[in-house]
Amino acid sequence: MASLKEIKTRIGSTKKTKQITKAMEMVSAAKLNRAQGKAESFQPYTEKIREVVASIAQGSEGASHPMLEDRPEIKKTGYIVITSDRGLCGAYNSGLLRETMNLIEQRHSSQDEYGLVVLGKVGRDFFKKRNMPIFQEITGLADQPDYSDIKNIAETTVQMFNDEVFDEVYIHFNHFVSAISQRVTEEKLLPLTTLAKEAAAEEASGPTPNYLYEPDPETILERLLPHYAESLIYGSLLDAKASEFGARMSAMRSATDNADNRIDELTLSYNRARQAAITQEINEIVGGAAAQN
């Protein structure tokens, strides 16, 4: 059984740990509010670009672009995987990486059939450890990233699709559902065939906005489609950041609760040990007094 001094030391160290986890929970909650607001404010911008591109794709005869069409043969698939740079966020990274690995193993029999674009140190280290093909990587992103922070990697990824390095590109990230819930999500980034299907469905369901284009629709698609794909990457990053802070806040809250429970257990053990020591001392005094009589 541990001594009174050892138990007291454990209680003290656990209280210090609780202070740290509580502070991290509060910091993560503040960062979550900012990240959630930034993600929500960016959404209308992406939606408007999608609306314009869909209108051009559906309303202009002869207007087409390779980014809107499936390729007849898929030789190599690209995966953009968004993880965090740090841990202490529960299953935020492990769930995402496990799902990504499962999908890659199901779809591909060789590393020649896919390539990875990784955002985040945890994902970078995970894939490097397994000698998987990483085409691009970026780490050390700010908690509230700007588009300029990922502009180069987003442009390069889209260009690799246009250059047929990749024949399709998926993006994997944790979608923000609520402060305590995140969902591992895969979205097909390129080609933008889903966009064309959505535009057709909207056109069939009712009237759509009528735009006048200058210059011609083909030129606008040539400039706008890459930018739209890049904005989807940035939007997914903002969504993932909100999810990261929500996961870290929940993990730190759980750690704080566990620290409280541990302190209660140690305090009870301390009181029992102290009572046993006092009882032992009383017995020794009584025994000594009895021996003298």
Q: Which of the residues are catalytic?
A: 89
CA separation, residue 145 to residues 38, 139, 282 (Å) = 9, 12, 66
Residue ranges of alpha helices (H) inside the chain are: 4-59, 92-107, 121-129, 147-162, 193-205, 217-292
Distance of alpha carbon 41 from alpha carbon 273, whole angstroms: 58
164: left (phi over 0), alpha (psi -120 to 50) or beta: left
CA angle 169, 64, 210 (to 5 degrees): 110
Q: What phi and psi values does residue 89 have, to the nearest 5 degrees?
A: -135, 35
Distance of alpha carbon 247 from alpha carbon 74, whole angstroms: 35
Exposure string for 116-147, b = 16+ CB within 10 A, e = fewer: bbbbbbbbbebbeeeebeebbbbeebeeebee
Q: What phi and psi values does residue 109 have, to the nearest 5 degrees?
A: -105, -10
- Please give, one letter per residue, the 3-state secondary structure of 36-74: HHHHHHHHHHHHHHHHHHHHHHHHCCCCCCHHHCCCCCC
The DSSP letter of residue 177 is: E
The encoded tokens of residue 43 equal: 């959404």
Contacts of 54 (CB under 8 A, 6+ apart): 195, 196, 198, 199, 202, 208
How distant is the alpha carbon of residue 198 from its chain centre? 26
